[in-house]
Structure 1
Amino acid sequence: MPPFDRRVLLSSGLAAGAALATPASAASDAPVLFHQVFFWLKTPGAKADRDQLIAGLKALKGIEVIQQLHVGVPASTEKRDVVDNSYDVSELMVFKSVEDQKRYQDHPLHQKFVADCGHLWSKVVVYDSLSV
């Protein structure tokens, strides 16, 4: 039996680890659209309103063009001048294309969300960006 070569095992392990750590989207050169939305409630601190908005946002996952959906609230991170945690709820969606994001905007579930939850917020800020 040949002697054990640790270099082969190490290089195999590093290659396997790199493959696991690489997101599937990195395998494609196609740009990805990130749709980030920040909501300020009309009644800041109203738990029932916040919970209703969060539930409404999570229901949007039923729209087939949404690749990923994250709904969140401000984190208790270090206070710095560049951090804005004045919003109440945020969402981050990932789409394969600008066209898919447009389909999302026009989708009946999105229209229902706006009709059902629009009364809850006083301000909304949207940041759309394409991966480079």
Structure 2
Amino acid sequence: MSSQKKAIDLPAVSHTVFFWLKNPDSKEDRDALIAGLKTLIQIAAVRSIRIGLPAATAKRDVVDDGFDVSELLFFDDIAGQNAYQVDAIHKRFVKDCEHLWRKVVVYDSVAV
């Protein structure tokens, strides 16, 4: 048996978003944001979604765990990510949930 790990075949474009809540101690606000994020899987271009909270990993200078909620979406290509941005479900999510966050940071990347 080979000890070499195989690469996971994921869609080419990833969209990683970190949210800082206006009321970080509010479980209700966090849960409302998570519920809103879960609606994004309904968008045809979205291949996969992961929603997360800061992990209790070792504290290191390179780790930024100051966010409250994160999402990781995958798309087949840039055209899919562009379609997601203008999709009515995404627009409704922003309209319904933007009052919950004070800061959002987005990292988009393409696989090499």
TM-score range, shorter chain: over 0.9
Residues of 2 paired with 1:97 and 1:75: CA distance? 29
Note the residue ranges of structure 1 that are not aligned, 5 or more in a row: 1-9, 26-30
- Please give the TM-score of this superposition, normalised by the length of structure 2: 0.92
Residues of 2 paired with 1:98 and 1:23: CA distance? 20
Q: Which has the higher contact order (CA 8 A, sep 6+)?
A: 2
Identify the structure with the greater helix proportion.
1
1:116 to 81, 96, 106: 96
Percent of paired sites with the same residue: 51
Residues of 2 paired with 1:24 and 1:82: CA distance? 27
2:24 to 32, 38, 44: 44
* Structure of larger gyration radius: 1
Give the match for residue 8 of structure 2: 23
Give the match for residue 99 of structure 1: 79
1:72 pairs with 2:52: yes
How many residues are matched?
A: 112
Note the residue ranges of structure 2 that are not aligned, 5 or more in a row: none
The residue identity in structure 1 corresponding to 2:20 is W
Aligned Cα RMSD in Å?
1.9
Identify the structure with the greater strand proportion.
2
1:54 pairs with 2:39: no
The residue identity in structure 2 corresponding to 1:68 is S
